[in-house]
A and B are shown apart, each in its own frame.
Chain A
Amino acid sequence: MQRARLVVIGNGMAGIKTVEELVKIAPDLYGITVFGAEPQPNYNRILLSPVLAGEQTFDEIVLNDRGWYATHGIHLHTGKEVTSIDRKRRTVTAADGTYADYDRLLIATGSTPFILPIPGIDLEGVIGYRDIADTERMIAAAQNHRHAVVIGGGLLGLEAANGLNARGMDVTVLHLMDTLMERQLDAVAGRLLQTALEARGIRFIMGANTAAIRGDEHGHVSAVALADDTELAAELVVMAVGIRPNTHLAESAGLRCARGIVVNDTLQTFDPRIYAVGECVNHRGTAYGLVAPLFEMARVAANHLAEFGTQRYSGSVTATKLKVTGIDLYSAGDFHGDDSSETIVLSDAANGVYKKLVIKDERLQGSVLYGDTTDGAWYFRLMREGRSIADIRGRLMFGERNLGDTGHLGQSQAASMADSMEVCGCNGVSKGTICAAIKTHKLITLDEVRKHTKASASCGSCTGLVEQILMATAGADYSATPRTKPLCVCTERTHAEVKQAIKAQHLLTIADTQRFLEWRTPNGCATCRPALNYYLQTTWPREAQDDPQSRYINERAHANIQKDGTFSVIPRMWGGTTSAHELRKIADVVDKYQIPTVKVTGGQRIDLLGVKKADLPGVWRDLDMPSGHAYAKALRTVKTCVGAEWCRFGVQDSTQLGIDLERALWRMYAPHKVKIAVSGCPRNCAESGIKDVGIIGVESGWEIYVAGNGGIKTEVAQFFAKVTHAAEVLEHAGAFLQLYREEGHYLERTVHFVGRAGLDYCKAQVVSDAANRRALYSRLRFAVDGELDPWTARANGAAAHEYASVTA
């Protein structure tokens, strides 16, 4: 069968990213032809600035060499500018007559530097800053000439000025506005930047209105004249006043353009056979000039070209970083703010540090960081996720490190880390390994780094650090992850969308859910199936079918798998209490099944380790104690202290309340594990301060805290409510947990759930609204009362095939 023909116009960053994504997911669908006006293969345009500054060579910034095109059977025409598109005959033709027929066409022509309409722009030595040819001309000029004038004090202009300055030229920057990079920086940061660049010897004329460019008798530029008649000597003039989407080809083909080729959310132009991505595009009224959004577009376009049709591009939030070595600058979002927003500013002039955060409705709207950009990626993440910052507001300015991240010794200055230092503690990945992978495999997104190195793929607490390393190594922040994350690679849907569909459509099985939501894979993967199974169970308790094959082995076998393939058994000990009778049974079981290790856990109960899988049903039968669910995303332990019954300080009966809570809430499945503790007085011997629900007895009743976590990253629980009676504790705790069960994303612990939903929201749902609290609690009761003890059932022969092997 003849393959469909895809022609790509533009061998730049967005076009080739689309092709890369496409051949990854649909390698055989198209015969691909690429036209590029530049003679070089595809390179990383962002890194032209380090090339100009002499920090990198062209070879180092090539993204795909000719071999890559050959390997994928892609026909590459370099140095050939396409001059016409015939949409009726579906043919494109280049200036030299080369032509290609297409079934689908992808336009990715980028943009062109905007050239001021003033006299003298045609003189030799007047250039824009866009490609490697421009860069080489600047490098050559720096060898032969002395004076350079850069018109425009934006990102490109300053990177050009810095590079030329580093190559020994006398550089003057002319800027129309009063402060530099006014579209990315506020006035304070702009001035700090100006001072730092002046210290390197670059001169600035602000409020400068360029009137004309003068030339010598050979037609070469010699000076720049300002409106106030000042004249500046110049043998090189770099015009960096902005970019224009490169649309003339598309326009001449009759495609609708308006400050960019107009595309819809699937990156199609008005001719559905023709797609467009990159800087040449106008999507929902915005033309982007940074790589991160273009790469998001590329992924969506590839998805549609591959005929999956499951993704949509809905616009991007962007962040900017200036690539001038030695100057740390980061800006994202709306950093000006307005009447309805508030700002937090930190200004430490002595150390050259300035930070400004703009907050609206308890969400971060924008940020400007100067001098210390360590937390840029973190702020960007907070912004993109739209997470409520109410709970961390007081510490927000001091960065992620100061939120209590003890896991990494406060080390998050990616740049200053030694290569041997460990970044990801879960998977033992060092900084050097990550850098090497980024370089060898030319990785550009966080997801790719995760796939190749496993760094930040487990607990995720080092995500920020990995993003920074990516930024530092790959040259710029183009690692932006999509704003709303799909549940897994099998779908475009987010957790919220999946839950919504399950509820609205009354879906009861995984297969129906996948069918309804148009899953890309026949039966999902190890990430989505457990999540779907959980959502079905909590949305339709006693109704949705449980699918054991979609549960992780621990929950399928009801015991915790060990590194050697044996299992561990932890029975319930209500509130950490036990008896001679239970201890005797445990001792007998240990002897009978020759269990190698017996250990007291950190959760106040006893663990039998190294049980053979085939022995599990027998162990449970002989123990005759309920499951401790130590293997499940479910209620784990309720730790208690001795409390008022024995302790000389105790003011409340914490042991009894703990037992009551555990008896009421056990068999409760949740998005992640749930741990509770009850202490009898504020000395807090049960460590209630780091539990999902922590309760502390006080003279007049009980204080309830939520969203603590004692794990990977210690998080102190936050005050939730104060009540008088034990029964009220049960209802409040139960209702809070039901809210978490219903609204939490699978594998999100309470601390992350509350961080996302907002503590105030949870209080409004549970504490101040008594009717809603009762409704939540009764939904919890309905679900939990329908669950049986899994061990009893299996001791009596249920799911026997799970534990027995087959024999010949």
Chain B
Amino acid sequence: MNARPSQSLEQRVNWIDICALEEIPRLGARVFARATGNIAIFRNADDEVFALDDRCPHRGGPLSQGIVFGRHVACPLHNWQIGLWDGKATAPDVGCTAVYAVHVDAGRVYLDLTPTDA
């Protein structure tokens, strides 16, 4: 349940090993820095891992800095609640941020940078 790719895991070839699961705090996030915009890697209480563009659909707040709860993160700037699995803002707010596939294997976190069309 860790990745929500549109293709099956095996079909994906672009997995990048980014860090150990333990390097992401539970109910927290780490930033994967990238020239074209950071990606936020989240870990929730059930050790599910998610990856989103580190930009809130509202005014670009860094989601990695927010408070993680359940399968959501609250943006640090104006408290929009973004779904970690689909990148969508919780109603009544409207907006969506890009989602990336991640999976955890033997304690390592792998990221695929092709955005999913989830």
Tell me which residues across on chain B come within 8 A of A526, comparing CB atoms. Answer: 66-67, 69, 74, 79, 81
A567 to B5 Cα, complex, angstroms: 34
Q: Contact mask B32-68 → A, CB, 8 Å, 1/0? A: 1100001001001110000000000001111001111
A524 to B66 CA separation, bound complex (whole angstroms): 14
Contact partners of B65 in chain A: CB under 8 A: 553, 557, 561, 565
The listed residue (B18, B59, B69) touching A521 by CB distance below 8 A is: B69
8 A Cβ contacts from A756-808 to B: 801, 805-808
Chain B residue nearest in CB terms to A564: B60
* Interface-side segment among A202-210, A544-552, A651-659: A544-552
Q: Are A549 and B41 in contact (CB under 8 A)?
A: no
Greatest chain A CB density within 10 A among B30, B46, B67, B74 is at B67
Counting CB contacts under 8 A, is B115 at the interface? no
Number of residues from B at the complex interface, CB < 8 A: 35
- The answer on a CB contact under 8 Å between A451 and B92 is yes
Q: How far is the CA of A390 from the CA of B69 in the complex (A)?
A: 41
For B79, list chain A residues within 8 Å (CB). Answer: 526
Contact mask for chain B residues 10-41; partner A; CB cutoff 8 A; 1 contact, 0 none: 00000011110001011110111100001001
Is A694 in the interface zone, CB < 8 Å from B? no
Complex contact A553–B23 (CB within 8 A): no
Whether B69 pairs with A801 at a CB distance below 8 angstroms is no
Give min CB distance, A737 to chain B, whole Å: 27
Residue of B nearest to A451 (CB): B92
A805:B31 contact, CB within 8 angstroms: yes
Residues from 519 to 539 in A contacting B, C-beta threshold 8 Å: 521-526, 529-530
B33 / chain A contacts, CB cutoff of 8 Å: 805-807
The answer, yes or no, to whether A563 is at the interface (CB within 8 Å) is: yes
Using known A-B contacts A561-B76, A806-B32, determine if residue A530 contacts B67 with beta carbons closer than 8 Å: yes
Alpha-carbon gap, A565 to B38, bound state (A): 11
**Cβ–Cβ contact A549 & B30, under 8 A:** no
CA distance A451 to B41 in the complex (A): 28
Bound-state CA distance A807–B72 (Å) is: 24
Within the assembled complex, what's the spacing in Å between the Cα atoms of A246 and B74?
Answer: 47
Number of interface residues of A (CB under 8 A): 25
CB atoms of A524 and B32 under 8 A apart = no
Residues on B with C-beta less than 8 A from A561 are 62, 65, 76-77
Residues of A within 8 Å of B59, CB to CB, are 563
Known: A452-B92, A523-B70. A806 touches B18 (CB 8 A): yes
- Are B77 and A549 neighbours in the complex by a CB distance under 8 Å? no
Query: Chain A nearest CB: distance from B33 CB in Å?
Result: 4
Closest residue on chain B to residue A452 by CB atoms = B92
Query: B77-114, CB under 8 A of A: which get 1 and which 0?
Result: 10101000000000010000000000000000000000
Assess whether A806 is in contact with B69, with CB atoms less than 8 Å apart. Answer: no
Could you say which residues of chain B place their CB within 8 Å of the CB of A807? 18, 32-33
Once bound together, how far apart are the Cα atoms of A563 and B61, in whole Å? 7
Q: A451-B92, A525-B74 are in contact. Are A805 and B69 (CB under 8 A)?
A: no
Query: B76 to chain A: which residues have CB within 8 Å?
Result: 552-553, 561
Given A806-B19, A806-B32, A808-B18, A801 and B25 touching (CB < 8 A)?
yes
Q: Chain A residue with minimal CB distance to B17?
A: A808
B25 A548 Cβ-Cβ under 8 A: yes
Contact B18 A549 (CB under 8 A): no
Do A806 and B67 have beta carbons less than 8 Å apart?
A: no
Nearest opposing residue in chain A for B33, CB measure: A805
Asked if B70 and A549 sit within 8 Å, CB to CB, the answer is no
Please determine whether A805 and B70 come into contact, CB atoms closer than 8 angstroms. Answer: no
What is the minimal beta-carbon distance from B108 to any residue of chain A, in angstroms?
11
Q: Tell me which residues across on chain B come within 8 A of A525, comparing CB atoms.
A: 67, 69-70, 72, 74
Nearest-Cβ distance from residue B28 to partner chain A, whole angstroms: 5
Is A806 within 8 A of B28, CB to CB? no
The CA-CA distance from A553 to B27 in the complex, in Å, is 13
Given A525-B74, A801-B23, answer yes or no on A806-B31 (Cβ-Cβ < 8 Å): yes
Contact indicator per residue, chain A 551-571, by CB within 8 Å of chain B (1) or not (0) = 011000100010101000000
The residue in chain A whose Cβ has the minimal distance to the Cβ of B62 is A565
The complex places the Cα of A557 from the Cα of B66 at a distance, in Å, of 11
CB distance from B83 to the nearest CB of A (A): 13
Instruction: Bits for A61-76, please: 1 = Cβ < 8 Å to B, else 0.
Output: 0000000000000000
Chain B residues with CB below 8 A from A529, complex form: 67, 69
A549→B25 contact, CB < 8 A = yes
Docked Cα-Cα span, A557 to B25, in Å, equals: 14
Q: Which of A522, A553, A565 is within 8 Å of B45, CB to CB? A: A522
Query: How far apart are the CA atoms of A250 and B60 in the complex, in Å?
Result: 57
Chain A residues, CB < 8 A from B72: 525
List residues of chain B with CB within 8 A of the CB of A548. Answer: 25, 28
Q: Which residues of B contact A524 (CB under 8 A)?
A: 69
- CB neighbours of A552 from chain B (8 A): 67, 76
Q: Closest CB of chain B to A415's CB: distance in Å?
A: 25
Q: How far is the CA of A523 from the CA of B45 in the complex (A)?
A: 7
Q: How far is the CB of A559 from the nearest CB of chain B, in Å?
A: 11
Closest to A550 in B: B67
Q: Complex: how many Å from CA A144 to CA B25? A: 77
In the assembled complex, the Cα of A550 lies from the Cα of B68 at a distance in Å of 8
| CB nearest to A808 among chain B residues | B16
Partner of A549, one of B46, B61, B67, B92: B67
Docked CA distance A807–B77 (Å): 25
Beta-carbon contact of B70 and A522 below 8 Å? yes
Interface centre among A451, A525, A549, A557 (most CB of B within 10 A): A549
Which chain A residue lies CB-closest to B26? A549
Name the CB-closest residue of B to A510: B27
- A452 to B46: give the CA distance in the assembly, Å: 30
Given contacts A451-B92, A522-B45, A801-B23, contact A553 B66 (CB under 8 A): yes
Q: Which of A249-273 contact B (CB under 8 A)?
A: none
**Contacts of A549 on B, CB cut-off 8 Å?**
25-28, 67-68
Interface CB pairs A-B, < 8 A, 6: A522-B45, A525-B67, A548-B28, A553-B67, A565-B62, A805-B30
Given contacts A523-B27, A523-B69, A549-B27, 20 further A-B contacts (CB under 8 A): A452-B92, A523-B44, A523-B70, A526-B74, A529-B69, A548-B28, A549-B67, A552-B67, A552-B76, A553-B66, A553-B76, A561-B62, A561-B65, A801-B25, A805-B33, A806-B32, A806-B41, A807-B32, A807-B33, A808-B18
10 closest cross-chain pairs (CB), A and B: A526-B74, A526-B67, A805-B31, A549-B27, A553-B65, A565-B62, A805-B33, A806-B19, A553-B76, A452-B92
